[in-house]
Each structure stands twice: as structure tokens, then as C-alpha cells.
Amino acid sequence: MRPILNRLNSEAILSNICLVAGSRADARAIKLMSKINKLCFLLLLPAVLAGCSSITNLTPSQYPRAGSGYYRVEAMWRSNRAVIRPGSFKPLVVVEFQTYPMQPVPLVKDRWEAYIPVPADKDFVRFHYKFDFMDDSFSKKPKADSLNSAPYQLSIK
């Protein structure tokens, strides 16, 4: 009984505040906004509970020119998603339209590295990371999923 009285009291107080502030239309607008806020919270809750993933670039923005023409890029993957199928993880570096597989960094968890070529006649290269994996979330059959990083530029001096 007490929760019902508290709810009635809070609605009555809200109505009184609205009537003091303005017309009944204002009271209805404030009540509607309160319901919309609750609905937005409920719609965002599954996204928060499902987990998040992020890619952090650990590559310096500039390297001195190397005789080999290959430069190391490194990224860190963070995820609290429990639905990623073990063994399905495939990190890549995408340079223009070419992809280069990444390898795990020894002794460090969730860090990946690759060596990408930069031609001698270029002073920079643009790239991004792409992490492919299988997702076991809401179906019996796993589905392919992917996360792309923001684009980065590596300058060669």
C-alpha cells in the first residue's frame, strides 16, 4: 500500500509543480518527458549490458625511414563481450585495399602487431585496423561480426 501512496503523492506533487509553473499543457509535457526518459533508459540498457569493444592504436605517428621499407604497427583490443567465439578472432591491418594479418605480441594480452610496407617514394601511409570474429550472441548459429578502427596516418621521415 505504501508504494502506491508514494507514487500517488509524487504524481500529485509533480502536477502541483506543473500547475504552479504554468498550464495543464505544461504538466502533461513534463509527465511525457519523464516517460520518454524512462523509455530511453530501458532502450539503452541492453546495449550497455551486451558489452563494448574498442581498438586502441599504439603505433607512433612517425617513424624514421627504414631500409627494409617495413614498419611495425600495433593495436590493443579491449572487449567485455562474452559472446565472442574463442579461436575465431582475426585481426588485420588495412592499407589502402591490401590487408595484412596481425600476430599477437608475445607476453602481452590483447595486443597485436604487424609489419606493413611503405614504398620508398611515399612519405606517409593511411591505414586502419579491422578485427573479425564470430559472435554467439542471440542465435544458435554463430554470425560473423567485425570492428573497424578509426583511420590513422603513419609518416615516414
Average pLDDT by consecutive 10-residue portion of the chain (157 residues)? Answer: 49 54 67 69 48 90 96 93 82 96 94 96 97 82 90 96
Q: Is the pTM for the entire model greater than 0.85?
A: no
Q: Name the segment(s) of the chain with CATH classification 2.60.40.10.
A: 53-156
Q: Are 130 and 112 in contact (CB under 8 A)?
A: no
Nearest of 78, 91, 76, 75 to residue 51 by alpha carbon: 78
| Alpha helices (runs of H) in 1-157, residue ranges in sequence order | 2-21, 24-50
State the Cα–Cα distance between residues 102 and 72, nearest whole angstrom.
10
pLDDT of residue 25: 64
Q: Residue written as cell 554470425?
A: 143
State the Cα–Cα distance between residues 68 and 154, nearest whole angstrom.
16
**Superfamily of domain 53-156 in the CATH hierarchy:** Immunoglobulins (2.60.40.10)
* Strand 152-156 relative to strand 62-63, pairing: parallel
pLDDT of residue 16: 56
C-alpha cell, 66: 627504414
In our burial notation (b when 16+ CB lie closer than 10 A, e otherwise), range 15-43 reads: eeebeeeeeeeebeeeeeeeeeeeeeeee
- CA distance to 9, 10, 25, 29, 33, per residue, from 22 (Å): 20, 18, 8, 11, 16
Q: Are 69 and 120 in contact (CB under 8 A)?
A: yes
pLDDT of residue 30: 76
